[in-house]
Structure 1
Amino acid sequence: MLKRRIKEKMQSEQGTSIFFGLLLFLTASILSVVILEGAVTTVKTVASDRTSEQNQLACTSAAQLLRDSIVNVKLSADIVETKTGDHVETAKNWKDVSNASLISTSLATSQSFAQMLQNYVKEADKKNKDVFGTDYFGIPVTKKLIISSAGSGTDAAFSQFSNLDKINAEFTITPRKSDDTAKKNEVTYDIVVKLSTGTGRDSSHVVLSLTGKTEARDATSSVNGNTSTTTTPYEYKWEAKDIFYGDSVRTLGDSQ
């Protein structure tokens, strides 16, 4: 009798041990899965944060290089007013891009980049039809391209960006006229460039804003019969306004 009870107790304790052993194993397995999933999630988050940070750095670097390049460009044009009697015709003649189109030749800005910028400005003039009238004036021109050593279809224009990964860029040039009637021929060209790279949560967006400046030089005049001609040279430059994080220009905010 006693022997049978001892045997039953041993069997009961053995079953309990097996049960708790299985329970402990199951608990450990669940904890292992949770820890593993947490570790994988952490690794993915760290990798994503690193990618996002690299994209942000690439965009900011591109914006700074682009800012320095645009600020280093100086375009020139002659405004020619021809008056015969009461009839006045005004023409704008852009001067060819040359070494003189670069304020500092020590920077990496190329003549090809200055030429590209002049082409955009000339297109803005054309899109606004009559640069010297009020109708249709102020219509922006937007160009989409990729900033890299092979961007915009020409290596030379973006040679200064050769060390950067490809950055998407959207140039918007908006011509502005002076409100002063005495300066009716003075047109400036404001520039906003939206830069982006990456996809999804890893994407980065930066906006570069520049204000257009213009300066008139001494005019020259000539008379031929009843026709008088006045030629006024103008220089067109840009002043860096700000670099913003995000995809829109702000008056105040996080800038570089």
Structure 2
Amino acid sequence: LFCTGFIADGAKELMKKICNCQSVLKARTPNSAGYSYYGEYPLSFAASTGNAELYELLADRGADPNRQDLLGNAVLHMLVIHNKTELYRLALRHPSQPADQQLRNLARLNPVSLAAKLGRRDAFNEIIGLGSSEMWRYGNITCRVFPLTGLDTIGPDGRTDWDSTLLHIINGNSEQHLDMLDEGVIGQLLAEKWHKYARSRFVQRLIMIILHLLIMTFAIYMRPLGSATAKQGSVQIGDNYTEYNTTAAPTLPAKM
């Protein structure tokens, strides 16, 4: 394992020189479609191929699941990219080498936000379920709480989190993203946001628009019409006076 880690460390500089442009591209688009991308470490390769026995063997020998490659992806990121949800629980809750679920790659994506961006519906539901805590259970009814850090658009400091999971799902352009909006914690979160904040602001703006239209309509129909009386006057040009006579044409109301 020491030899393998040494080779992986030495390969970093070589990969930086050979695949520099590809690494920058894949850091921006973590899908890595079209590349044979299995991570730079044996543990990441075992996770990417879904080999649970090899993963446990390497983890028991001290392999670090939180070690990041050139793109900043660790083991949990690789499981999401290759959609290997069956190993996610093992990697997250390994007794000797548990993986960090809040670790972010160079694109500032943790595993749950990466699953949301790529539209990995099964992986997303698995990650959300593993991050929840069961409060009570009565028969078939279970009450669970879900942490909103990194999930909601509002961060812990009260500012907008532009890397949040919800924004990645909303900005997605696939059918999987649409399905993720209607189910589970995301659907409940959107419903709560609508009832608590969005509905009242929508009603307020709707009332303001209706009042604006009513006032504009009243002002148009009730504006004064132009008179048809003749106006007389004089204009002084030097020492002489020139009389003028103008007639104002009647103004017709505009057709609505």
Task: Answer whether TM exceeds 0.5 for this pair.
Answer: no
TM-score, length-scaled by structure 1: 0.24
- Give TM-score, length-normalised by structure 2: 0.24
Q: Higher strand fraction: Structure 1 or Structure 2?
A: 1
Q: Which has the higher helix share?
A: 2
Q: Relative contact order, CA 8 A, sep 6+: which one is greater? A: 1
